[in-house]
Structure 1
Amino acid sequence: MLRPYATSLVVLLLASLLSAGCASVEPDWNIEPDASSPDTDAPDSGQPDLGLPDADPTDVGEDADAAPEDDADTTEPLPCDGLCGPNEQCRDEVCVDLCDEAGFVCGDHTLSGQAVSCGSCDLGACQEGQCVDVCGEVGAECGDIYIDGTRYSCADCAGGERCAPNNLCVADQNFVDLSAGAEHTCALRPNGQVRCWGRGDDGQLGNRAYSGSQFPTASFNIDGALQVSAGNFHTCALMGDNRVRCWGLNAQGQLGTGTTNNANQPMAVTSLLDVTHISAGGNHSCARTSLGLVRCWGFNAQGQLGGGNLTATLSKINVQNQGGGNFDQVVDISLGNNHSCALRTSGEVWCWGLNDKSQLGVSGTQGATTPRQVFNLPASRRISAGYDHTCALTLDGDVYCWGRNDNGQLGRGTSGSPGLAQRVNLPADAVDVAAGWLHTCAALVDGSTHCWGDNARSQLSRASTLGDSASPISVPLLEEVYRVAAGRYHSCALSTSGEAFCWGAAENGQLGDGTQGDANNVRITPVQVAP
C-alpha cells in the first residue's frame, strides 16, 4: 500500500513529466513529503511514529529495508600498475605471480613474455622449474657428487657420523651388530639401519631386488631397528616399536606374513607384538616376548616350533612345556637348521626339534616337539645354534658345544661321532661364540678370534689345502673383536671400533668388500667390509 506522502510524491512527479512534454528530466528528490497527512500504518517498533519515512525514498524494491550482508565485499580492486613484483604481471587490476601460476619453484624462465626468476634449490638441481634431489637419485647421502660435469653438494652427516668415500653417512662406529646367513650377511648400524650383502636371489637382502650384492646394501624402509638376524635364506629385524619385519625365502611361511610368498623387502610379521629378541633359522623363525615367552612360525616337520606337535601352520605357535603350559623365563633364543634353543633366566639351556646329531644336547637321537634341558652344561649367558650343532658361552667365559662333529665343529680335538656338551679348550675366556653350518668361531676377552671345524672354503682363515681343524686356531690380523658370526662357508667379526671383517667363501659377495675373492673365490685372511 502507498502511504499518503508517497501518493503526493507520485502525483507531483507525473505532473512534472506532463508539463515537460514527456521530456527527460531529473526528478527533484528533495521534495518534502506532505507532513499534514498522518501516517496511518502501525509503528514498526515500540517508539512513537512521527510520520517520517521509514527509509530513503531512493531505496525501492522488496529488499529496500534489508541491511547489507556482513560478508559482502564492498571494496573496489586497486590499480596494480607499477606496484607488482619482478615475477608478477598485472591482469585486470590484479598482480599475478607468474612462477606460482606456472607451478615453478626454481630457475630462470620467460613466462607470458616476461623474464622471471623463480628461486633456487637448497639441495639438488633445478629441472623444468622443480627442485630435483639428484643426490637421492644416485644414492648419495653426503659430500660432493659430479653429474655430467656439474658438482652438486649433498647434505651434511648428522653428529657422530662421517661421510664415507662412497658418499654415504656412516657412524664413527660403522656397525654395532652382525649376523651371517648361509651365503649372505647382515649388520646393524648405530642409527638402526640394516645393511645386508651377499647372495640375494630369494630377496634375503631386503633391498627390493632378487639379486646379490658385493657391497652392503640398505634393507628397504628399515630405520630404528634394534636387532637383525640372518637365517639360511631369509632375514628378520626387530624394530624399535617391538614389532618384527622379515624378508627373503618364505616357502615354509618363515616370514610370518600368513602367506608363502617370497619378499624382497621387509614385511611386517602379523599377530606378533611386544618382542624383545628374534632369531631366524633354517626355514623357521622365533621371537622372545617381554614376558619371557617364545613364539615361533615356519617349518615344523621336526617339531622345531616347540608347540608339541608336527603340524604345519602359518600361525604363530607358543612354545610349550613338556607337561603343558607356556615355556617361559627365556632371555635368549637361537635357531639352527631344524632345531631351536632357548636360554632361561636360570642359566639353563633348553632345545627342541631335530636331534639326529644330538644337537639338542640330550642322550639318544630322538627329536622333541617341546623343550628339553641340555645335559652337562654349566650356567650360560649366550647361545648359538648352528646347522646341526649348538654352542653356549657360560657365565665363567667357557665355550661348550654339542651335536654333529663330522668336521670337528665341537672343538674337542677330534672329529667323528656326535657328542653331548663338552668344554672347548681355548687360550682365554670368550666373550662371544657363533656356530655356523659346519664350523664355529669365538671372540676372546683379549680381542682375538679363534675358529674350528670345516675349512673347505678357508672359513677358518687358513688355506683350504690344510684341511679342517678339530681344535681352535687363531684368525690373523684381527684385534679388539667382540662379536663373531658364522655362515655356511664364511665367517665375520666385529671390532670395538665398529669395523666388520669377513673371510672364507666370496663367490656371492658375502664378505662385503666389493669382490668375489681371489681366483678360487675365497679370502683366506680377513677383509674389511665396506662401510
Structure 2
Amino acid sequence: MRKFFFVLGVGMTLIGTSASAQCFKKIVAGQDFFLAISQDGTLWAWGENGSGQLGDGTTTDRTTPVQISTATTWAFIAAGDNHSAAIKTDGTLWTWGNDSYGQLGNGASGSVTSPLQIGSDTNWKEVAVGDRGSLAVKTNGTLWSWGGNTNYYLGNGQSTSYVSQVPVQVGSATDWNHIYGNALHGLAIKNSGTLWAWGYNNYGQLGIGSTTNSDVPVQVGTASDWKEIATGDQLSLALKNDNTLWAWGTSNSSNLNIGTAASPVQIGTASNWKTVSVKKYSTSSYALLTRADGTLWAWGNDTSQQLGNGAGTTNYSSPTQIGTNTNWANATAGYLQSSGIKTDNTFWVWGATSLVGNGTGETNSPTQYACTALNVIEQNASKDIKFYPNPATSKITVSGVKVSKVSVYDQSGRKYDLQTVNNEINVSKLTSGIYILVTETDKGTFSDKLIKN
C-alpha cells in the first residue's frame, strides 16, 4: 500500500507523518510577532516581519505560523522589538531580524532575514533580546551582552551610548543562571537565587529602591528565592520559589494598579502561581498568569480584548480568573494578542489575533487554533477506498469502508466536523476552496485532498 503526504496550509513544511495535532510547547512574544517551538523541535513564527524578525527569509508579514528553517533542534527562543534570537540543543546561538545597533551580534550591520549562527561557541544557555540590544548567559555561568548601550542596557560599566557588534562578557562572575530583558533594562538570577538588574530605571523598574539608572548589575533587595521574571517597559513581575507574585516599577497607564514601586511588592496573598507573562512593549501593559491548579488569570489593560474575559474591553486592576478551565499550562502576553497552551498540548489564542476570525478582528475569549496546520496529513492511496465526486458541490460518497466520523481542515488549519449518513458526507455548508478530508472508518483513519466547488 503506497502512502502520500500533503501539507496543510500555505507555505507550511513537512514536519511529521501523523494526522494528530502537532502543536507548540514554547511561545514567546515580540513587538507584534510571535515565535514558537513545536513539540518536534521545529521553529515557527507569525506576525509583523518588516525587518525579517520572523526568520523565514522574507520581510512579508504572516497571519498564520510559518516554519523557520528545517532544523528540529531548537531549544530556546527570544523575541524583541524587531529582532529574534534562539539557541539549539547543541548550544549554538542564532539571531535574525533588525541589526541597526549590532543587536544580532554577527560583527556586521544590516537586517538578516534567516537564522544566522553567531560565532562557534556551543555553550550558550539562555538569551534575551530587547529593542537595540541582546543579553545571554552561557552554561559556564558567564553573562554576555551586545548591541546598543542606550541607557546602559549592556550592563558593562560603560555610561556612554555606543554599539558592540559582537557578544562581550559582562564582568567576571561565573554564577549567572537565568537572563531576562526588555527594551532598555535587563534582569538576571544567579545560582544563589538572588536577583540583579541594570539599565534604564526612570520608573523604578530595576527594583533597586530608587529611580537611578545603573550601568552594571545591582542586586535587587536581599532575597535569595527568586524563580521567574517577566519584564515590561516600565515594570517587572516575578515569582518566588514559594510561588508568590511580586511587582515593581510603574503601572500608572496600564491598570495593573501597583502605582509606582521602586522595590518589589507582593501582589495579593496567593502562593500557587505557576507562570507569569507581561506585555513587553508600550505603557498600556497587561499580564497573563497561570496557577498550579491549572486556572488562567489576567490583569491590566484590555484595549483589544487581550485579557480574554469574554466581556469586551474590561480592564482588571488585580489578577482575575478567566473562565473555569483547570488545564492551562502557560499563557503568553503579546502586544495586543494573547496565546496559551493547555496541558493536552492544544493551542489557544485571543485578543487582536490573526489566527482566528478569518484572519481579522478580535476575539474576546480563548479560541482554539487547530494545529493540524503544522502537520502532514497522511493519505492512504488504497484502491479499495474511494471518495467521489471530487471536486464536490453538496455531498461525497465513500465506498470500500464503513464511515464513523468525518472532519475537514481548511488551509488555515481550522477544523470542521461534517455530517455523514450511510457513507454520504454533507459538504454543502463549506465555502469553495481546498480542504483536507479526514475520515474515520472501520478500517482505520484516512485522508484525502478535497476540492469544494
TM-score scaled by length of structure 2: 0.74
Equivalent position of 1:359 in the other structure? 205
* 1:370-408 residue CA offsets vs partner (Å, 9 max, x unmatched): 101112656111112122211211000111111121235
The one-letter code sitting in structure 1 at the alignment partner of 2:134 is S
Work out which of the residue numbers 151, 161, 180 in structure 2 matches 1:334. 180
SS of residue paired to 1:341:
strand
Work out which of the residue numbers 368, 381, 388 in structure 2 matches 1:528. 368
1:274 aligns with 2:117: no
In 1, the alpha carbon distance for the partners of 2:24 and 2:6 equals 27
In 1, the alpha carbon distance for the partners of 2:11 and 2:309 equals 37
* 1:287-327 residue CA offsets vs partner (Å, 9 max, x unmatched): 2101111111112111111111133221212122xxxxx23
* 1:130-169 residue CA offsets vs partner (Å, 9 max, x unmatched): xxx9979976767xxxxxxxxxxxx971xxxx326xxxxx
Unaligned runs of 5+ in 2: 372-453
Equivalent position of 2:272 in the other structure? 429
SS of residue paired to 1:369:
strand
In 1, the alpha carbon distance for the partners of 2:326 and 2:253 equals 27
Change (3 A) 1:483 1:398: same
Change (3 A) 1:525 1:135: closer
1:186 CA drift (Å): 1.4
Equivalent position of 2:219 in the other structure? 373
Equivalent position of 2:230 in the other structure? 384
Change (3 A) 1:503 1:428: farther
Moved beyond 4 Å, runs of 4+: 133-142, 463-467
More strand by share: 2
In 2, the alpha carbon distance for the partners of 1:404 and 1:465 equals 25
Work out which of the residue numbers 479, 483, 496 in structure 1 matches 2:330. 483
Work out which of the residue numbers 473, 485, 495 in structure 1 matches 2:342. 495
In 2, the alpha carbon distance for the partners of 1:137 and 1:216 equals 9
Change (3 A) 1:477 1:265: farther
The one-letter code sitting in structure 2 at the alignment partner of 1:184 is F
In 2, the alpha carbon distance for the partners of 1:459 and 1:331 equals 32
The worse-fitting range, judged by mean Cα deviation, of 372-381 and 235-244 is: 372-381
Work out which of the residue numbers 146, 154, 173 in structure 2 matches 1:297. 146
Equivalent position of 1:461 in the other structure? 308
Change (3 A) 1:286 1:384: same
Identity of aligned residues (%): 23
Change (3 A) 1:134 1:403: closer
1:316 aligns with 2:167: yes
1:443 aligns with 2:286: no
1:420 aligns with 2:263: yes
* 1:243-292 residue CA offsets vs partner (Å, 9 max, x unmatched): 11111222112112222211221111236441111222222212210111
In 2, the alpha carbon distance for the partners of 1:207 and 1:141 equals 12
Change (3 A) 1:421 1:140: closer
Equivalent position of 1:63 in the other structure? none
1:177 CA drift (Å): 1.0
Q: Is the 8 A contact 2:105 2:147 kept in 1?
A: yes
Q: Is the 8 A contact 1:456 1:464 kept in 2?
A: no
Q: Is the 8 A contact 2:276 2:290 kept in 1?
A: yes
In 2, the alpha carbon distance for the partners of 1:208 and 1:228 equals 18
Q: Is the 8 A contact 1:347 1:379 kept in 2?
A: yes
In 1, the alpha carbon distance for the partners of 2:183 and 2:35 equals 18
1:200 CA drift (Å): 1.5
1:346 aligns with 2:187: no
Change (3 A) 1:254 1:271: farther
1:163 aligns with 2:19: yes
Change (3 A) 1:469 1:378: farther
In 2, the alpha carbon distance for the partners of 1:337 and 1:391 equals 15
SS of residue paired to 1:302:
helix
In 2, the alpha carbon distance for the partners of 1:313 and 1:463 equals 46
1:234 CA drift (Å): 1.6
Asked which structure has the greater CA Rg, the reply is 1
Work out which of the residue numbers 14, 31, 47 in structure 2 matches 1:198. 47
1:467 CA drift (Å): 4.6
SS of residue paired to 2:274:
strand
